[in-house]
Amino acid sequence: MKQPQTSRRSFLALAALTPFAVAATSACGTSGPGASSGGGGASMWYLSGEPNQTTMQKAVDAFNSANSADKITVTYFQNDAYKTKIKTAIGANQAPTIIYGWGGGGLKTYAEANQVEDLTGWFDQNPDLKKKFFPSVFGAATVNGKIYALPNQYVAPIVLFYNKELFQKAGVQPPKTWDDIMSLVKTFNGMGVAPFSLGGQSRWTSMMWLEYLLDRIGGPEVFKAIFEGKPNAWLDPAVIETGTKIQELVSAEGFIKGFSSITADSQADQALLFSGKAAMMLHGSWTYGAMKKAGQNFVQDGKLGFVPFPTVAGGKGDPKNGVGNPAAYMSISAKASDKEKESAKKFFKDGILTDTVIDAYINSGSVPIVNGIEDKLNTSPDKEFLNYVYDMAKNAPSFQQSWDQALSPTAAEALLNNIDQLFLKSITPQQFAENMNGTLGK
Amino acid sequence: MSNAVSTAPRAAAGVNDSKQTEKRGAALAWLTVPALFFFVVFAVIPLAGVLILSFTSWDGIGAIGVAGMSNWFSVLVDPGLYNALGLTFLIMIVSWLVQTPISLLLGVFTAGSQRYRAALAVLYFLPLLLSSAAVAIAFKALLDPNFGLATGLGLPFLAQDWLGVPQLAVGLVIFVIAWQFVPFHTLIYQGGVRQIPKSLYEAAQIDGAGTVKQFFHITLPQLKYTIITSSTLMVVGSLTYFDLIFILTGGGPGNSTRILALDMYLRGFRANLMGPASVIAVILVIIGLALALFLQRLGGKDKQGSQLEGL
């Protein structure tokens, strides 16, 4: 047998292979789904989940068949996965042309890193488009006086839902004040029904309680100061009173047993309400459509009630004030090519919130953010709810964007973490305020 | 490459000529080039990158700024780090204590040749086939206090808030990890037991040793290296429990299941704090290396020798 040794040939073969390996690995770094190479069309990432996914797909298909030169390709992601993925993609310069988002603090981060296109001038050139939307929806799209996103989709305030059947059985009225809530808690616990459903593991669900309570106790100015990063804004006595009230409600077993292990993504919290295991639920108006679909005629039979969040004795907040998501937002990646940016702008103008899309939103029980839809709302089978949401969005003296979207991602994560501990009573309201105060300006 | 293949049998045959050995050593050294290349590209460079990132401030999106030691100081004084460290070690130790005896006994049991053992082994190994995500989602659904197994079967004592009470959640995480990984370690032990020469047991039987005595005096000592291998995998692997806990509890309730790997993810990708997250990553690497080295030491100096030699 020939003596084994390194031949020059085998070494050269290895050396020749190495560049291929390098090429293969470096290729992984540049050919993500959002890479701006190829056919010239714009790419868009959007959230999966019905009914919005179908609505969007139909809108894109319609736009693509009418504009063969400006085709849009959509990829769908699950909500929570998307939130992480989009941040990573933008950081790696792999963002899609059209960046879906929630405005507020997240958008501010992108805008300040020059990752999204300034659309102020484009809106000035298209005044009709700008006038199409509720004026209030531009707030969360604006950073330092410039508009960085197109508002779209629908307004989604947080609503206090209740199960009319259970209220009838108990012979009680929906709550108007915080004291009503505390007495209803006793009533329903006595009946063996959980007073409030809550998907506490998702944490932003618990946050909705704080948003409303702080507004009712201290008025919208308290969070405004926090949002603006004013010194010691979180140490406002209203914040501490809010925390105290929440912990009182937790102690009184106001929330369903096991609330801290229920997630909103699984929609188990909604199921608790329509299956009669819980009497009330504070949740986004988007759950109306989902409950209509999953609740086996619970909504259709008129068993779902909805009221504004109650007032707190001595509180400053107007009960007409709302909190929630003013709209959804879409930005254009600053890293996209000029051609892609043009396609995206054309899609913004002609493809999104067309009459078909507006009708689809209304049919699914949502209020699109466009003016002049009163007639359409009134002919819908869901007109009672739609009008309620519409009037609230239109007439609210203050409509606070959800805190986790309004704040920077860093502060928002700290907030959600501290809220979780507040609801578990593992920190006091004072500690909550102090922990959060440390995140001001971050 | 054909040269390389023909080296192997010769090496095993143990040619003693030193000149030849040297030459062969040089020949074999080239074979490490591809592995080394991938090790550098996928391990060394990212590691260096993380180390550098730990001294910078970066939100993952904008420009990277120099932060000096500030990330390290802020993380090292953060009680969250010690909570995560404590939990990581707690889960590691309790998992080892729970999994090792179970998988050892199951491994010894399934190493037997009766047909019913083979059938049972198939059942035991089933969880091996499932991904952590699937396991987590399934357990989450089963344990739901309102719609889960307890309600379905009408067993109210099972309707605890399993994932919503800190102590219960930690215990449950350990249980689910054991459920998922015991089959894997059982398989390792089964292999180890089958390697033990039959002659040892025959000799013991002649000397009148019972099953229990045989287990403690033959099986257990002979499995020493298997135990070390399995423990290394368990202990080092426990540093990377992420997917399961992420889906099952998300680190909650509160911070009660926020282990180090999860803490790193949440800081980096949820809170946009890449610098502090990199600090945690470096700490994880250090702990992992230290543990792996420690466990190797336990094996003693003769660890490289064959267990079958010198019987």
The chain-wide mean pLDDT, for chain A, equals 86
pLDDT(B276) > 60: yes
Q: Do A408 and B272 touch (CB under 8 A)?
A: yes
Q: Which of A6, A110, A424 sits opposite B27 (nearest CB)?
A: A6
Q: Is the peptide bond before A51 cis (omega within 30 degrees of 0)?
A: yes
For residue B2, the model assigns a pLDDT of 41
Q: Do B30 and A6 touch (CB under 8 A)?
A: yes
pLDDT of A138-158, one tens digit each? Answer: 888 999 899 999 999 999 999
Cα–Cα distance for residue pair B185/B164, rounded to 1 Å: 30
Closest residue in chain B to residue A439, using alpha carbons only: B271
For residue A441, the model assigns a pLDDT of 81
Cα–Cα distance for residue pair A275/A298, rounded to 1 Å: 9
Choose among A90, A418, A285, A337: nearest CA to B59.
A90
Which range is most confident: A54-63, A74-83, A234-243?
Answer: A234-243
For residue A265, the model assigns a pLDDT of 77
The Cα of B180 is separated from the nearest Cα of chain A by a number of Å equal to 21
For residue A37, the model assigns a pLDDT of 40
- Chain A hits for B141, CB-CB cut-off 8 Å, are 266
Q: Do A420 and B252 touch (CB under 8 A)?
A: yes
Q: B12 versus A315: which is more confidently predicted?
A: A315
Q: Do A409 and B63 touch (CB under 8 A)?
A: no
pLDDT(B304) > 90: no
Q: A371 versus B4: which is more confidently predicted?
A: A371
For residue A276, the model assigns a pLDDT of 93
Q: Do B270 and A84 touch (CB under 8 A)?
A: yes
Q: Do B146 and A7 touch (CB under 8 A)?
A: no
Q: Do B30 and A87 touch (CB under 8 A)?
A: no
Q: Span A46-51, mean pLDDT? A: 82
pLDDT of B53-89, one tens digit each? Answer: 999 998 888 888 898 899 999 999 998 999 999 999 9
Tokens 């996965």 belong to A81
Under a CB-based contact definition with an 8 Å cutoff, are residues A279 and A163 in contact?
yes
pLDDT(A7) > 60: no
For residue A330, the model assigns a pLDDT of 93
- Chain B hits for A4, CB-CB cut-off 8 Å, are 3-4, 6-7, 10, 23-24, 27
Contact residues for B305 (Cβ-Cβ < 8 A; gap 6+): none
Cα–Cα distance for residue pair A132/A264, rounded to 1 Å: 33
- Residue to substitute from B10, B57, B77, B272, interface A, most A β-carbons within 10 A: B272
For residue A307, the model assigns a pLDDT of 94
Q: Which of B160, B254, B271 sits opposite A413 (nearest CB)?
A: B271
pLDDT of A377-412, one tens digit each? Answer: 999 889 899 999 998 888 888 899 999 999 988 999
DSSP annotation of A194 reads E
Q: Span B291-309, mean pLDDT? A: 67
Is the dihedral angle over the CA atoms B242, B245, B247, B253 positive or is it negative?
Answer: negative
Q: Crossing angle of helices B166-195/B224-238, nearest 10°?
A: 150
Contact residues for A273 (Cβ-Cβ < 8 A; gap 6+): A161, A162, A163, A197, A279, A280, A281, A291, A304
Cα–Cα distance for residue pair B44/B41, rounded to 1 Å: 6
Closest residue in chain B to residue A113, using alpha carbons only: B62
Q: Above pLDDT 90, what percent of chain A?
A: 51
Contact residues for B47 (Cβ-Cβ < 8 A; gap 6+): B285
Distances (CA, A) of A435 to A122, A416, A418: 41, 12, 8
Q: Supply B145's token pair.
A: 């206090």
Q: Supply B50's token pair.
A: 């993380």
Contact residues for B112 (Cβ-Cβ < 8 A; gap 6+): none
For residue B301, the model assigns a pLDDT of 52
Q: Span B132-150, mean pLDDT? A: 87
For residue A94, the model assigns a pLDDT of 87
In the structure, what pLDDT confidence band is assigned to residue A27 with cuts at 50, 70 and 90? very low
pLDDT of B142-174, one tens digit each? Answer: 888 888 888 778 777 777 788 888 889 999 999
pLDDT(A34) > 50: no
Cα–Cα distance for residue pair B157/B168, rounded to 1 Å: 14
For residue B134, the model assigns a pLDDT of 93
Q: Do B254 and A426 touch (CB under 8 A)?
A: yes
Q: Do B26 and A6 touch (CB under 8 A)?
A: yes
- Residue to substitute from B10, B30, B61, B137, interface A, most A β-carbons within 10 A: B61
Choose among A123, A97, A148: nearest CA to A337.
A97
Q: Which of A17, A110, A260 sits opposite B61 (nearest CB)?
A: A110
In the structure, what pLDDT confidence band is assigned to residue A285 with cuts at 50, 70 and 90? very high
For residue B302, the model assigns a pLDDT of 52
- DSSP of A339-371: HHHHHHHHHHHHTSS-HHHHHHHHHTT-EESBS
β-strand pairing of A42-47 with A72-77: parallel
pLDDT(B179) > 80: yes
- Residue to substitute from A116, A261, A269, interface B, most B β-carbons within 10 A: A261
For residue B17, the model assigns a pLDDT of 56
Cα–Cα distance for residue pair B138/B129, rounded to 1 Å: 14
For residue A421, the model assigns a pLDDT of 93
Q: How many contacts does A have with B, using Cβ atoms within 8 A?
A: 137
Q: Supply A307's token pair.
A: 């009221």
Amino acid identity for residue A377 in this structure: L
DSSP annotation of A407 reads S
Q: Span A168-183, mean pLDDT? A: 95
Q: Do A87 and B269 touch (CB under 8 A)?
A: yes
Distances (CA, A) of B291 to A218, A241, B233, B280: 53, 48, 10, 16
The Cα of A396 is separated from the nearest Cα of chain B by a number of Å equal to 31
Q: Span A112-125, mean pLDDT? A: 91
